[in-house]
Amino acid sequence: MVRAPAPAIVLEPVMSSPAMRSFDRVLCAVATKDVTVTFVGESGSGKEVMARRLHDLSPRRSGPFVPINCAAIPDALFESELFGHERGAFTGAVERGLGKVEIAGGGTLFLDEVGEMPLAAQPKLLRFLETHRFMRVGGTKKLEVDVRVVLATLRPLEAEVRAGRFREDLYYRIQGVALTVPPLRERRRDIPMLIDTFLRQLGAIHNCAPARLSRSARAVLMAHDWPGNVRQLRNAIELVTILRSGKTVRVHDLPPGFDPAPSAEPAGEQTISIDLDQPLADMVDDLVRHVVAAERGDLARAARRLGVSVRTLQRRRRA
């Protein structure tokens, strides 16, 4: 059998799971509309990747996409970082500097971790969102720029407003469409493709042959809860890429903290919880995944346990 060469480019994130497909349907619908979008999601879940996809699907895709992490900029520099500064505006401002707002002209400005934005800068952002006009620090002239603002936050901003860390008027101004990026544990069907992508990419980055994951190691990764989401998965794959270059990765080669399976005991009473609000096919997938993980990737034993043939099990896993 001739295998098609693996793609060198990826134009959309991995989204084969029902949770991501449903998320993406909404994202595609809002991308072309002039509405403010806020991505809410756990750390490492891929909010910036989704913001980039939103930009790529929007009529502004020929303009720049400019990300800014509000948590990473010192309070004193925030205004200058966002709106730029004139020469001599402050000590060290030896020449005019453009702010992110200006650089994003015609495109998308992505404010990541917007809940961490300094309180002092919030009224200026509010004014800019209302008028699309701003002044550089130390400037006297109002400038106008056409930019779409997209935001992201780890937690819903209501809690920040209640705690007095986020202005209520700004909260209402930016309240548009809130899209919750599913955590990795709710999109397990994407894990195999993410693993394969990271194995190739990290092998290339570190100049080593990609490692090969054994079935049992894959089953453990599939069953893990991933509190650090896609970023944590990438880090785990990076470690095995470096340590097991070109070799097979077994369960004991995985970084510490990866339990062999939810339950490595093949017999005895075991329980799983199933979300009753999900489609039947997803419930079956959950069940199959847990049994395969419990059998440490041994499909023959998993099939016996489920009372189906190995072929049926394989078909189900490919579906």
Partner 1 sequence: MTLDRSVALVAVAGDQRDVLARYLTGAGFDVLACHELTVAGSFGAVVWLAGDGEASLVAPVRSWLRTGRPHRIVVVTGRPAMLRELAAAHPERLLVLPAPTFGWHIVDALRAASTPGPRGA
Residue 61 makes contact with partner 1 by CB under 8 A: yes
When asked if residue 1 is in the footprint of partner 1 (CB under 8 A), the reply is no
Given 98, 119, 243, 310, the residue binding partner 1 (CB under 8 A): 98
Candidate residues 1, 2, 3, 10; the one interacting with partner 1 per rule CB under 8 A: 10
Count, residues in the chain: 319
Q: Does 146 bind partner 1 (CB under 8 A)?
A: yes
Minimum distance of partner 1 from residue 36's CB (angstroms): 21
Q: Which stretch binds partner 1 (CB under 8 A): 137-145, 151-159, 237-245, 299-307?
A: 137-145
Could you give the string, one character per residue 232-271, with x where binding to partner 1 holds by CB under 8 A and - elsewhere?
Answer: ----------------------------------------
How far from chain centre, in Å, is Cα 22? 15
**If binding is defined by CB under 8 A, does position 65 make contact with partner 1?**
yes
> Which residue's CB is nearer to partner 1, number 30 or number 145?
145
Radius of gyration of the chain (CA): 24
Region from 111-119, 197-205, 220-228, 309-317 binding partner 1, contact rule CB under 8 A: 197-205
Residue 189 contacts residue 18 (beta carbons within 8 Å): yes
CA distances to 20, 105, 138, 160 from 149, rounded to whole Å, are: 23, 11, 24, 19
User: What is the footprint of partner 1 within residues 11-50 (CB under 8 A)?
Assistant: 11, 49
119 and 101 Cβ atoms separated by less than 8 Å: no
Size of the site for partner 1 (CB under 8 A): 31
Question: Nearest Cα to 67, choosing from 86, 27, 39, 26?
Answer: 39
Paired strand residues for 67: 110
- Contact residue for partner 1 among 200, 215, 231, 317 (CB under 8 A): 200
- Scanning residues 205 to 224, which ones bind partner 1 (CB under 8 A)? 205, 207
Q: CB of 317 within 8 A of CB of 303?
A: no
DSSP string, 55-90: HHHSTTTTS-EEEEEGGGS-HHHHHHHHHEE-TTSS
- Which helix (H) or strand (E) element contains residue 294? helix 280-294
| Residue with smaller CB distance to partner 1, 65 or 166 | 65
Where does this chain touch partner 1 (CB under 8 A) — which range of 164-172, 200-208, 212-220, 236-244? 200-208
**Of 40, 103, 264, 308, the one binding partner 1 by CB under 8 A:** 103
Eight-class DSSP state of 224: -
284 scored as a contact of partner 1 (CB under 8 A): no
300 touches partner 1 by CB under 8 A: no
Would strands 143-144 and 97-98 be described as parallel, antiparallel, or unpaired? unpaired
Residue 228 gets the label, from left (phi > 0), alpha (psi -120 to 50) or beta, of: alpha
Terminal C-alpha separation, the chain: 21
Residue 103 vs 272, nearer CB to partner 1: 103
Q: Which residues bind partner 1 (CB under 8 A)?
A: 5-11, 49, 52, 56, 61-65, 98, 102-103, 105-106, 143-146, 197, 200-201, 203-205, 207
